[in-house]
Structure 1
């Protein structure tokens, strides 16, 4: 389905019991709402599940300009308004976790709790040039130039070998990402730094991270945990960046246990 929100068309799906609390899911850079396929059946048993394609991804509009994390958070808030949903439990992975932190700071009345997966509260200055190089590669050669390197960070070689169908699905997401959307979101990530603000987040927070995540290592999750009072953190053994896929069963058990307490 499509909704007009914050000046763009946002592609979304809303499933599950109509009277149940809403869990809103936000995906990673170069992904789509399909990143959450392994969570849907579990969550739909007790919650309405709202997942959507971020600005510049999937079937959502992809303006060709720089994006900011505040812009991406305002997209999420505007989608809730368009659907007349007053608030939700918010779960985001990687880029989705970054905008989720901004969501909790900018629109605290809309966030009942926050689940942050394989993400960070600050992108190190020394990686800024890396992000510019990724943008340049995508604009020059298309997303195919980035697919191999991205897959190496996202899923372990062992998992890819054991689940070639899942690996192919994820690779196809990367390849189908609009270059304009990829570039816009890269700039939002490159400029992201709310380390000195996240201590103001007051809703319950759960942090999950893959033990072997090379993109946003465990130390980045520990930094968030230490900054937010009462935040819980769970490390998922052996998983890489997409811990919700590589360690789907313990991931799902952890998030449903957390949500049940809210």
Structure 2
């Protein structure tokens, strides 16, 4: 393992990243959900790094990356990844993104197809609406004195009530990340999701694609996953018995499916 380090984007924002695994293995980029950091993948690293050199990064506004004020765009979040790959001398990678990370994965596969080998899009969508919901979330985020209430709402959307009621230790790192979340970073990212619409352009994706959905996901509904899998040519669909964080709730099945798909010829 290596400690997190940073690159500087063209607009002056530091993006934190870290590698795990043998440098000789194919590179797999992991892209995190909104209001989390690269540690949301900690439980997957042992399994994934046995097959890939895993590159994790904190999206702008999250974790160890800078959190500039103002609305972010999916275009900017996607270009952050391209600048990261360029800085690290990586021409072509596998990509696995969950939720917001899945939006970024779609953008990359549409706008920079030569950089993406195989693609896993988990608990995500090509579009979320209505915009007014995100506008309200942005106002609430800026008005909040701390992240406690907002964080608990996220946790209710991400994990089954039984896990929360049992104080499952797998939830604790997510609660900690939420408490540390930058309000500017969260609000800016809400704007990126609000304005993103890949419902038509996802049909241009040529990378082999696996779509993973949670059958009880209240954020990105299983119907969103089905539509995405129907839109991306040749995409496969896997629905897991999970809420939003399928990598945590169904870790074994998630890791097995991802590794098998990403390792295919």
User: Could you state the TM-score of these two structures normalised by the residue count of structure 2?
Assistant: 0.95
CA–CA distance in structure 2, aligned partners of residues 95 and 45 of structure 1: 26
Quote the residue 1:32 is aligned against: 37
Quote the residue 2:263 is aligned against: 260
Cα deviation, 1:71-129, whole Å, max 9, x if unaligned, reads 000001110101111111011000000011001111111111110000000122xx211
Which of the residues 150, 168, 171 maps onto 1:167?
A: 171
Which of the residues 228, 245, 252 maps onto 1:242?
A: 245
Structure 1 residues 169-178 or 49-58, which shifts more?
Answer: 169-178
CA contact (8 A) 1:137 1:145 kept: no
Residue pairs, 1:1-262, within 5 angstroms: 1-6=5-10, 7-124=12-129, 127-141=130-144, 142-162=146-166, 164-237=168-241, 239-262=242-265
Q: Secondary structure at the match of 1:123?
A: coil
CA contact (8 A) 2:51 2:259 kept: no
CA–CA distance in structure 2, aligned partners of residues 161 and 243 of structure 1: 18
Q: Secondary structure at the match of 1:164?
A: coil
CA–CA distance in structure 2, aligned partners of residues 244 and 120 of structure 1: 16
41 and 77 in structure 1: CA distance in 2 versus 1, 3 angstrom threshold: same
Q: Secondary structure at the match of 1:135?
A: helix
Following TM superposition, the consecutive aligned residue runs of length 4 or more in structure 1 with deviations greater than 4 angstroms are none
CA contact (8 A) 2:31 2:56 kept: yes
Specify every segment of 5 or more residues in structure 1 that has no aligned partner in the other structure, as ranges: none
Q: Secondary structure at the match of 1:214?
A: coil
Specify every segment of 5 or more residues in structure 2 that has no aligned partner in the other structure, as ranges: none
CA contact (8 A) 2:26 2:53 kept: yes
CA contact (8 A) 2:147 2:181 kept: yes
How many aligned residue pairs are there?
A: 259
Cα deviation, 1:140-164, whole Å, max 9, x if unaligned, reads 1132231121111100011234453
Structure 1 residues 164-173 or 30-39, which shifts more?
Answer: 164-173
Cα RMSD of the aligned pairs, angstroms, is 1.1
